A and B are shown apart, each in its own frame.
Chain A
Amino acid sequence: MRCTNEEVISASPLRVFCILLLEEDVLQREVSKGRKMEDNNKDLRRLISGRPKCFMIAGSPLCAGCQHGTISRIIGEVIDDLGIVGKTIAVGGVGCHSMLVMSASKFDLTTALHGRAPALGTGIKRGTDGKAIVFTLQGDGDLAAIGMGDLINATVRGEKLTTIFFNNAGYGTTGGQMAPTTLIGQTTTTTPSGRSPDTGGFPIHVAELMAGLAGVAYSARCAVNTIAQYKRTKKAVRTAFQKQIDNIGYGFVEILSACPPLLKMRPTDARKWFEKHMFAEYPLGEFKNVDETKIQYQVET
């Protein structure tokens, strides 16, 4: 019930109540006027860098210097640029990698069991007749250890999904254990004298592996240490989404992400360590970018 006619109000036994409503009305008008003024003021400034529109104003739950934060922001910026916030559904893995998006994003999201994000993503994509834009957020423990089969089989099934892979060379969430991507010689809580090939095997190169799979349309490895790398990463993430939007194939981006507590270093030193060691093991670049998935051989019937 809205009272706008003051004469009716003064004659009414519900006068006080109506005046309250009237005041609320006036108040709301004032508030919206104020908002408009704020918006106008905003138009006087152009945002160069900062919070993506699809992120709420909230503090990050990640550690100081965790580059997962920077990567999450790139994802937000790409979703803003592509204008797909209303039809995007994120599927988070278990680990720090999904925490900022999970706590700040305005788009829909859900969490899968450890490593199962591509499987859950498949269900969402197929259940919405391919209309939803589905992407997974996964770490090296989540994707390259417990979830390797799920990822590979999603590409084998020819799913059109996008995966953003946060490679921090270890398990961050659970206190710094070895992951399949941990470097030879790198100390972690489960490799106290450094990862040795005899007992710990070899680091896995997921971006190159994905490039070799027929269902994959895009695969790249990026980093976010410098502004040039940031821009390349943003372009790669955008392309990985575009491959899904254009219904071409699986889009995959691996991003090297420094985790200072894992290395027991200050943030700036952890970043330098990454530049020196991670970049040596994991070359940056695009490994696959095709506009149609290729059929190797077909039986003629």
Chain B
Amino acid sequence: MEKKKKVIEVEINKEFCKACSYCVDSCPKECLVMGEELNSTGYNFPVFVNQDDCTGCGACGFLCPDIAIEVYEVL
């Protein structure tokens, strides 16, 4: 029987982001890329582009120094 795939939600709070791109660097599956849009303080922030490959490892959320990312598993 095929194993049911985990459904992961990665929420990025763009207003807290300061564009360090640590999350992009730390994602083993290249699910995040830095976007072009700017937040109200003038930083561009990452976008979650690859929902299918995301394993929910949580690395992006753990290593973000500004606590701008939250990773959830949908139960």
A positions within 8 Å CB-CB of B: 43-51, 55, 59-60, 62-70, 73, 224, 226-227, 230, 260, 267-268, 271
CB–CB A59/B9 < 8 A:
no
A–B Cβ pairs within 8 angstroms, 13 of them: A48-B58, A48-B61, A48-B73, A49-B61, A64-B66, A65-B22, A70-B63, A224-B63, A226-B26, A226-B63, A227-B62, A268-B21, A268-B25
One of A43, A46, A64 near B43 (C-beta < 8 A): A64
Q: Which residues of A contact B15 (CB under 8 A)?
A: 59
Smallest beta-carbon distance A143→chain B, Å = 21
CB-nearest residue of chain A relative to B21? Answer: A268
- Interface of A, secondary structure class, is mixed
Residue ID in chain B nearest A270 by CB atoms: B20
Expressed in whole angstroms, the Cα–Cα distance for A48 and B70 within the complex equals 8
Q: Are A50 and B61 in contact (CB under 8 A)?
A: yes
**Closest B residue, CB atoms, query A59:** B16
The reply to whether B65 and A46 contact each other, CB–CB distance below 8 Å, is: no
B1 at the interface (CB under 8 A from A): no
Closest to A62 in B: B65
Knowing A45-B9, A45-B75, A49-B62 touch, does A69 contact B56 (C-beta < 8 A)?
no
Please, which residues of chain B bring their CB within 8 A of the CB of A45? 9, 72-75
What is the bound-complex CA distance between A113 and B21, given in angstroms?
Answer: 35
